[in-house]
Amino acid sequence: MDWTPDWQSLIAEIIAEPGVVMVVGNVDTGKTRFCLELCLAAAQADIPTAAVDADIGQSEIGAPGTIGMAMIEKDTRSFVDLKPRRIHFVGATSPVEHVAECCIGVKKMADQAISLGARMVVADTTGLVGGWLGRKLKTCKIDNLRPNYLVGIQKKHEIEHLLIPFSKMSAMRIHRLPASDKVMRKTRELRASRRKMNYHRHFADSHGHLIRMDDVNLRNTWLGSGRPMKWQYRKFIEDALKCPVLHVEVTGQGIFIVSERMCSMTNREALEEQFKTANIIASTGEAFKNVMVGLADENGSTLNVGLLQTIDFKHRFLFVLSPIKTISPVRVVQFGSIRVTREGEELGIIKPGEM
C-alpha cells in the first residue's frame, strides 16, 4: 500500500541493507502502519524478519501489558494475526512507572529475534514522546537497543528532541518521515475498547492452575520477600487491628500484613512501637484478585500471562487463570500493576508498593 512516496523510498533503502529498526512518533502518526509495511516488504524480499511490538497499551502481538515478538511470514496481513514467539511481561498498559521494564523488554525481544535468525528486526513503540518522561523513556530505549535505523514519524518537529541527541552516532542512521494524513485518530474510548478485545482474546482459552508458592519466586510484591512472623506476634497484630489476619511477613523494609478485610489503622502507633518500625504496609486478600501476572521460567523469560484469582495463605498456593498449558516450568511469578477480568474489563491500577 503506497501511503506516501517518502515511506516507500525509505523502506527500499532499509531492505537493501537490513538491520534493527526502531520507529518513534506521537500517537496517530502511522508508526504501526509503517512497521507493518516495512516488515511485509522485507518478507517479500526473502529477508528473515521479526516485529517487536513495544506499544504496551495497544499491543497487537501478545496481550496488553507485554512486549511481543513475532516472525513475519510472506502471507502476513496484520500484526494481530501473528502468534508471538517470545513475550516480555511489563504488567502495565502505560510506561509511566515502568521505564526500566520497557527498555529492558525491547532489547530482550530484539536479541531473541536475532537468535532465531532474523536479519531484520522492526520495533514499534508507544506514543509517549512528550515531556521529560517521554524523553527519558525513548532515550533509554534507543540507547539500549542501538538500532541501525532510527525512524522518526512526525507531523511537524515534535520529536526532534528525541532524534537530535543521537545525530552524531555513526552506527545509527536517523530518518525523518512525515506523518500520514490517512491514519485514523483513535479516541481514548476506542483505545480502551481495543485493549478489552485483546485481553479477552488472550484469556479466552485460559485454564485454572495451582502454583505452590514455595516452588516460585514472587516479584513486584512484598509477598514472599521476607520471613513469616511468629504466631504470637500475629495475634498481637490481630488484636491491634481488630480483624483476622491471613499473613504477616517481616521484610527488610518493615512489616507486610494481609488481612481478611480492610482493617482500621487507629492502633498503628501500637504496632510501630511493638515492632520498632514506621514501615507498616497493610493489604487484603481480596486485593490480589484479578491482578495480571507474568509467568516466567528459571531464566526469567516470560512463558505466558495470567490472572491471579486468589491466594491460599494457609497452604501457600496461588490460583491463576492462564492459557499456559502446564505450570511445571514456571519458576517466577511477576505481579503486574493492573487488575483486569477474564472478559477484559480493566478494574484499576495498582500503585507501586501497594501489595
Q: Taking the mean position of all CA atoms in its chain, how far away is CA 4?
A: 32
Give the SS3 label for residue 120: strand
Domain assignment present for 195: no
Given 186, 221, 238, the domain boundary residue is 186
Domain assignment present for 156: yes
Lowest mean pLDDT among 200-204, 267-271, 346-350: 267-271
Count of beta carbons in the 10 Å neighbourhood of residue 280: 16
Q: Where residue 34 sits, what CATH number does that domain have? A: 3.40.50.300
Beta pairing class for 66-71 and 49-53: antiparallel
Task: Give the model's confidence band at 3: pLDDT under 50 very low, under 70 low, under 90 confident, else very high.
Answer: low
Domain assignment present for 299: yes
- Do 25 and 127 belong to one domain? yes
Q: Taking the mean position of all CA atoms in its chain, how far away is CA 27?
A: 18
Q: How many residues does the chain have?
A: 355
| C-alpha cell, 167 | 545525530
- Do 210 and 178 belong to one domain? no
Question: Which tens digits make up the pLDDT trace of 113-166?
Answer: 999 999 999 999 998 998 999 999 999 999 999 999 999 999 989 999 999 999
- Do 172 and 74 belong to one domain? yes
Domain encompassing residue 60:
5-186
- Look at residue 187 and tell me whether its pLDDT is greater than 60: yes
Phi, psi of 266 (to 5 degrees): -65, -25
- Which of 291 and 2 is assigned the larger pLDDT? 291
Report pLDDT for 22.
Answer: 98
72 touches 30 (CB < 8 A): no
- Do 29 and 130 belong to one domain? yes
Domain assignment present for 283: yes
Grid look-up 506476634 returns 233
Mean pLDDT value across the chain: 91
- Look at residue 186 and tell me whether its pLDDT is greater than 80: no
- Do 172 and 316 belong to one domain? no
pTM over 0.85: yes
Lowest mean pLDDT among 152-156, 176-180, 240-244: 240-244
Question: Which tens digits make up the pLDDT trace of 5-49?
Answer: 778 999 999 999 999 999 999 988 889 999 999 999 999 999 999
Question: Which tens digits make up the pLDDT trace of 45-98?
Answer: 999 999 999 999 988 999 999 999 999 998 888 898 899 999 999 999 999 889
Q: How far apart are the first and last CA of the chain?
A: 48
- Do 154 and 243 belong to one domain? no
- Do 172 and 311 belong to one domain? no
Domain assignment present for 199: no
Domain assignment present for 73: yes
- Do 219 and 350 belong to one domain? yes
Q: Classify residue 122 as exposed, middle or buried by CB count within 10 Å of its CB (0-12, 13-18, 19+).
A: buried
Report pLDDT for 56.
Answer: 93
- Do 55 and 149 belong to one domain? yes
Nearest to 122 by CA among 244, 238, 23, 226: 23
Q: Where residue 209 sits, what CATH number does that domain have? A: 2.40.30.330
Task: Give the model's confidence band at 1: pLDDT under 50 very low, under 70 low, under 90 confident, else very high.
Answer: very low
Report pLDDT for 338.
Answer: 96
Report pLDDT for 145.
Answer: 95
Structural domain count of the chain: 2
- What is 272-286 written as a DSSP string? HHHHT-S-EEEEEGG
Beta pairing class for 291-296 and 302-312: antiparallel
- Do 127 and 247 belong to one domain? no
Domain assignment present for 104: yes
| C-alpha cell, 46 | 526473502
Q: How far lies 181's CA from each of 31, 120, 186, 288, in Å?
A: 12, 27, 13, 44
- Do 80 and 158 belong to one domain? yes
Nearest to 148 by CA among 35, 20, 22: 20
Question: Which tens digits make up the pLDDT trace of 255-306?
Answer: 888 888 887 777 778 777 777 878 888 889 999 999 999 999 999 999 999 9
- Do 9 and 129 belong to one domain? yes
Report pLDDT for 192.
Answer: 86
Instruction: Please state, in angstroms and rounded to a whole number, the distance separating the CA atoms of residues 222 and 228.
Output: 12
Question: Which tens digits make up the pLDDT trace of 301-328?
Answer: 999 999 999 999 999 999 999 999 999 9
Domain assignment present for 196: no
